[in-house]
Amino acid sequence: MSKKRVSFWTVLKVAFLVFMVIITIYPFIYMISVSLSGKLSVMRGEVYLFPKDFSLEAYKFVFRDKRIYTAYKNTIIYVVLGTFTSMLLTTLGAYALSKKNRLFGYKFFNILIVITMFFGGGMIPKFLVVNALGLIDKIWAIILPSSVGAWNLFVMRSFFLNYPEEIEQSGSIDGLNDLGILFYLVLPTSTAILATMSLFHAVGYWNSFMEPYLYLRSESKWPLQVILRSIVLQGTSLDTEYAGGQSEVYEDSLKFATIIVSVVPIVCVYPFLQKYFVKGVMIGSIKG
Amino acid sequence: MAKLATSVSMAAVKKNNNRWKKLKDSKYLLIMIAPAILYFIIFHYLPMYGVTIAFKDYKPFKGYFASSWVGLKHFRTLFKYPYVWRMVRNTFLLSFYSLIWGFPAPIIFALILNEVKNERGKRFVQTVTYLPHFISTVVIVSMVTMFLSPSTGILNTFIKSLGLNKVNFMGSPKYWRTIYISSGIWSGVGWGSILYLAALTNIDPTLYESAIMDGANTFQKIIHINIPCIAPTIITMLILRTGQLMSVGFEKVYLLQGAVNLEVSEVIQTYVYTNGLRNLQYSYGTAIGLLNSIVNISFLFAANYISRSVNETSLW
């Protein structure tokens, strides 16, 4: 009797989890399949799971499109520049904050940062500040205003708090100052956290829509997310779509191909991220 | 008497010396933290000060200081806006329904996933379900819009294959909230479960042993051990969420918004954007944003206060 009930529960449990996995993965499989299928099969609604009449036409169109090409390039520049800036500011700040007893004005700085987790000026005052700094339509407008997060700062600080003091002391005996200790001793031995935090920042910049949408005016500077919105959600067509007269590619395939192209880098770094992110969330939640 | 005075001043000098020494000692640390502090001052504290334009008639060509003070004018304008209550109601309902449906989902998911004894299977499910958290809002909204399209969307193809009539999901305000909330659950349920799963793995195993001795089944274990043990985590998360009851993420609402669904999709944040930034009524927009923040903070304090007096779990 009891054995039967347990097995019923197991079936229910497994069924639920399988359902969760399918519902998460299926949209991606479907998009890939449609983007790789021939026009007629998609139009007739025959594609459900696997591509039909396999064709790479949609991707050829996407990669030939100037706007997507520029946007891709822009996004990569923003990600690299943004991640570097964020990491530099966050690492330096977090290391200084981890020296609780030595840092002059520690309490003041701490409170100054914590307050920003709960209060903010809001969209318009921030826009006016960015505007007053002359950053509108400049690359730095999408990097500087969100370069440091209080949360990330505290995650890194708690990492540095657990860093073995002996190593740092050996550095100061050898006559290194704090900057030297950080760059010559601490950072080379903390590559795991640096990699994790960099990936988090990189994903954040890759996905960011708000900042570029609010602060960038000229289309030639738009990143992928903004272009993606205008192509998929607002229905502006690709340059290449009409180039060859009668289009051989179905509109939906093109849109899905565009989405896939913008998601692929995330899916590629994801396995590396995944190793650490649970740890990151946990550190943040305990110390935050 | 004189001696006492000298010793007091000596102590003061010593203290001063100490502070001076500490300042000199942390010279490099201060250099390191300076850029971050500068960032917070420029991009967080300046805008906080800039909120004062809510009480001014800010004109870009005049600049901040030359713009005149107008008191509560913008707040009065807001309450004359015929749709002000619709907007407040939309904001509240959207986040309230998100809370009702979206809050329990990761908890239930974590409770079930926690029962999986096969480590590899568990990790696989985790890996898969955490992924949508890293997909951008633009992509998620794009996917939703395309899947629900009345002409070619897969959902309508499916509905049609069942012999039913196609539904124009995005073209009607009726389905808008459901779409917003369910896509939110889709992208957030896995990631949201991390904290609860961690809390579940920290439960003392002896509790289960004694429960098994008492003949408890899985459901009884979940109800009498798992849920009480993760209750503090649940309550903390609930407080944080309650503090956000009057704020919904601008990005997703804005991207999902269209003329056809404005009657349910116009929330405070999107109104701030369209009137404040797009129509260049900076002061008016800021005033609404300020009112909204005040409401949010009072919600957070209230939730924290209630929780502290009821069951001694609180944020501060």
Region B73-311: CATH code: 1.10.3720.10
Residue B278: count of CB within 10 angstroms of its CB: 9
Rounded to an integer, the average pLDDT of B76-101 is: 90
pLDDT at residue A8, as a whole number: 81
d(CA B133, CA B117): 25
- Locate tokens 């990569």: which residue? A76
Rounded to an integer, the average pLDDT of B98-104 is: 93
> Could you tell me if A203 lies within 8 Å of chain B, comparing CB atoms?
yes
* AA identity, residue A76: I
DSSP at A248: -
Q: List the single residue in A with minimal CA-CA distance to B126.
A: A21
SS3 B57: coil
Q: Which two tokens stand for residue A90?
A: 């966050």
Residue A275: count of CB within 10 angstroms of its CB: 12
> Could you tell me if A236 lies within 8 Å of chain B, comparing CB atoms?
no
d(CA B129, CA B161): 29
- Cβ separation B128–A24 shorter than 8 A: yes
Chain A 29-88, residues with CB within 8 Å of chain B CB atoms: 30-31, 42, 45, 48, 88
Q: Which of residues A283 and B266 earns the better pLDDT score?
A: B266
Burial class (CB in 10 A: 0-12, 13-18, 19+), A111: exposed
Residue B186: pLDDT band with limits 50, 70, 90: very high
- Cβ separation B138–A278 shorter than 8 A: no
Q: List the single residue in A with minimal CA-CA distance to B110.
A: A17
The domain ranges of chain B are: 2-55, 73-311
SS3 B127: helix
Q: Which domains does chain A have, with CATH numbers?
A: 65-223+254-287 (1.10.3720.10)
> Could you tell me if B154 lies within 8 Å of chain A, comparing CB atoms?
yes
Among residues A81, A75, A86, which one has the least CA distance to residue A149? A86
pLDDT at B35 over 90: yes
> Could you tell me if B49 lies within 8 Å of chain A, comparing CB atoms?
yes
Residue A270: pLDDT band with limits 50, 70, 90: confident
Rounded to an integer, the average pLDDT of B230-238 is: 88
d(CA A281, CA A155): 8
Rounded to an integer, the average pLDDT of B203-221 is: 86
Q: What is the mean pLDDT of chain A?
A: 85
Among residues B295, B121, B314, B147, which one has the least CA distance to residue B236? B314
H or E element at residue B291: helix B282-311
pLDDT at B67 over 80: yes
Q: What percent of chain B has pLDDT over 70?
A: 93
d(CA A23, CA A8): 22
Chain A residue numbers with beta carbons less than 8 Å from the beta carbon of B51 are 121-122, 125
Give the gap in angstroms from C-alpha A207 to the nearest C-alpha of chain B.
5
Q: List the single residue in B with minimal CA-CA distance to A110.
A: B37
Where is average pLDDT lowest: A14-28, A247-261, B121-135, B171-185? Answer: A247-261
Q: How far apart are the first and last CA of chain A?
A: 48
Which residues make Cβ contacts (< 8 Å) with residue B284, sequence separation at least 6? B74, B77, B78, B275, B276
> Given B60, B127, B282, which is nearest A274 (Cβ)?
B127
pLDDT at residue A280, as a whole number: 59
Which residues make Cβ contacts (< 8 Å) with residue B240, sequence separation at least 6? B300, B315
Q: List the single residue in A with minimal CA-CA distance to B277.
A: A124
pLDDT at residue A243, as a whole number: 47
Model pLDDT for residues A176-214, shown as the tens digit of each residue: 888 888 998 898 888 888 888 898 899 999 999 999 999
Among residues A101, A116, A133, A141, which one has the least CA distance to residue A221? A141
Chain B residue numbers with beta carbons less than 8 Å from the beta carbon of A263 are 135, 139
> Could you tell me if B170 lies within 8 Å of chain A, comparing CB atoms?
no
pLDDT at B157 over 90: no
User: What are the backbone angles phi and psi of residue B215, rounded to the nearest 5°?
Assistant: 80, 30
Residue A245: pLDDT band with limits 50, 70, 90: very low
Q: Which two tokens stand for residue A13?
A: 């449990």
Q: Tell me the pTM.
A: 0.87
* AA identity, residue B316: W
- Cβ separation B53–A125 shorter than 8 A: yes
d(CA A37, CA A55): 5
- Cβ separation A128–B145 shorter than 8 A: no
CA dist B7 → A77, B13, B16 (Å): 62, 10, 14
CA dist A172 → A164, A176, A177, A180 (Å): 14, 5, 6, 9
Residue B14: count of CB within 10 angstroms of its CB: 10
CA dist A161 → A191, A196, B263 (Å): 16, 17, 51
CA dist B48 → A71, B40, B62, B280 (Å): 33, 11, 20, 19
Give the gap in angstroms from C-alpha A145 to the nearest C-alpha of chain B.
6
Q: Which two tokens stand for residue B184?
A: 């939110």
Q: Which residues pair with B282 in a beta bridge?
A: none
Q: List the single residue in A with minimal CA-CA distance to B187.
A: A24
d(CA A16, CA A9): 11
Residue A239: pLDDT band with limits 50, 70, 90: low
Phi-psi region of B134 (alpha: psi -120 to 50; beta: other; left: phi over 0): alpha
Could you tell me where the DSSP H helices lie in B243-267? Answer: 250-256, 262-265
> Could you tell me if A13 lies within 8 Å of chain B, comparing CB atoms?
yes
d(CA B24, CA B6): 26
> Could you tell me if B259 lies within 8 Å of chain A, comparing CB atoms?
no
Q: What is the mean pLDDT of chain B?
A: 87
